C-alpha cells in the first residue's frame, strides 16, 4: 500500500468518532499530532484531507483541523498532545508510535486514531489488534513484521556477501525493536549485521564511505 493511500485511509478512520458526534452544533475539531513539521507533512496532510472528504468532511466547511508537529523533537510530543487534549478536540489523529503514545498518555476520554508501520501491541499502544480497548483505535501496515524477509531478499540478491550494513537512527523509538528483529534474521542467514548509527542526512553519506 502506498503511503498516500495509507494516510487517506487513516483520514476515513478518523471520521468514525466525528460521525458519532455529528449531532453536536459546534464544528468538530480534529487534532493532528505528528513528530514532523508542516513542510515535511504536506503530502500526508493532503492525503488526510482527501480521506476526510471521501466521507463528507471538508476542512473549514464542516470540520476544523488543529495541527501540532514536534519538528522531529520527540520530547515535545507529550506537551503538544496535552495541548490538544486541553482544547477538547473531537478526536486526535496521531502519526507513528511516538505521537500515538503521547496522545494515549494525554487523554483517556478523547477518541484517538493512530497510523503506524509497526505492531501497536508490541509497543503497548493497544491490548490487541482485534480489540484495541479504551479510547484508541487505528491502522497499521506492520512494516516491522517483514524486516526479516527484506533482509533475506537482500541476501538472495547478493548471496556471496557475509556482511550487511544497517543504517539506523539511534534516537528513534523504533530502533531497538527493528534492530533486534534484523539481528535475529541475520543470525538465521549466517551473515553479520553491521549497525551504523546516523542522526541526520549528512551522516548517511559519511557512514556509507566508512571502511
For residue 135, give the DSSP letter: T
* Domain span holding position 115: 3-141
- On whether both 112 and 200 belong to a single domain, the answer is no
- Using the 3D structure, point to which of 141, 163, 190 is the last residue of a domain: 141
Query: What pLDDT does 126 receive?
Result: 92
DSSP assignment of 83-96: HHHHTT-SEEEEEH
137 shares its domain with 160: no
d(CA 143, CA 211) in angstroms, rounded, equals 30
- Cell numbers 522531529 correspond to what residue? 72
Residues 152, 132 share a domain: no
Rounded to the nearest 10 degrees, the angle between the axes of helix 147-157 and helix 175-189 is: 40
Q: Which of 141, 174, 191 is the last residue of a domain?
A: 141
Q: pLDDT by residue for the chain (211 residues), tens digit each?
A: 455 555 555 665 666 566 555 555 589 999 999 999 999 899 999 999 999 999 999 999 999 999 999 998 999 999 999 999 999 999 999 999 999 999 999 999 999 999 987 888 888 999 988 888 899 999 887 766 678 888 999 999 999 989 998 888 766 656 777 788 888 889 999 999 988 888 777 777 777 776 5
The rounded Cα 121 to chain-centroid distance in angstroms is 14
- Helix H segments across the chain? 3-20, 42-54, 77-86, 96-106, 147-157, 175-189, 201-209
Q: What pLDDT is recorded for position 52?
A: 94
Q: Which residue has the cell 503497548?
A: 124
Total domain count for the chain? 2
Looking at the structure, tell me whether residues 50 and 129 fall in a common domain: yes
Q: Are residues 41 and 92 in the same domain?
A: yes
CATH of the domain at 159: 3.40.50.2300
Q: Are residues 178 and 135 in the same domain?
A: no
Residues 128, 101 share a domain: yes
Last residue of a domain, one of 141, 159, 185: 141
Handedness of CA 72, 78, 79, 80 (dihedral sign): positive
**Of 115, 153, 137, 138, whose CA–CA distance to 3 is shortest?**
115
152 and 185 in contact (C-beta within 8 Å)? yes
- Does one domain contain both 17 and 106? yes
Does one domain contain both 106 and 156? Answer: no
What span, in angstroms and rounded, lies between the C-alpha atoms of 168 and 50? 32
Amino acid at each position: 500500500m502506498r503511503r498516500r493511500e495509507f494516510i487517506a485511509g487513516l483520514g476515513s478512520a478518523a471520521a468514525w468518532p466525528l460521525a458519532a458526534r455529528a449531532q453536536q452544533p459546534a464544528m468538530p475539531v480534529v487534532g493532528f499530532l505528528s513528530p514532523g513539521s508542516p513542510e515535511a507533512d504536506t503530502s500526508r496532510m493532503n492525503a488526510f484531507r482527501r480521506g476526510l472528504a471521501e466521507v463528507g468532511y471538508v476542512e473549514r466547511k464542516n470540520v476544523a483541523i488543529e495541527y501540532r508537529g514536534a519538528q522531529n523533537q520527540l520530547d515535545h510530543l507529550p506537551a503538544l498532545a496535552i495541548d490538544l487534549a486541553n482544547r477538547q478536540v473531537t478526536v486526535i489523529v496521531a502519526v507513528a508510535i511516538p505521537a500515538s503514545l503521547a496522545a494515549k498518555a494525554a487523554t483517556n476520554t478523547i477518541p484517538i486514531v493512530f497510523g503506524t508501520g509497526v505492531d501497536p501491541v508490541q509497543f503497548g499502544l493497544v491490548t490487541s489488534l482485534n480489540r484495541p480497548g479504551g479510547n484508541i483505535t487505528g491502522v497499521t501496515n506492520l512494516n516491522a513484521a517483514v524486516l526479516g524477509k527484506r533482509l533475506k531478499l537482500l541476501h538472495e540478491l547478493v548471496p556471496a556477501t557475509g556482511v550487511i550494513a544497517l543504517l539506523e537512527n539511534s534516537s528513534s523509538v523504533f530502533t531497538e525493536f527493528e534492530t533486534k528483529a534484523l539481528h535475529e534474521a541475520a543470525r538465521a542467514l549466517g551473515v553479520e549485521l553491521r549497525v551504523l548509527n546516523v542522526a541526520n542526512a549528512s551522516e548517511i553519506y559519511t557512514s556509507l564511505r566508512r571502511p
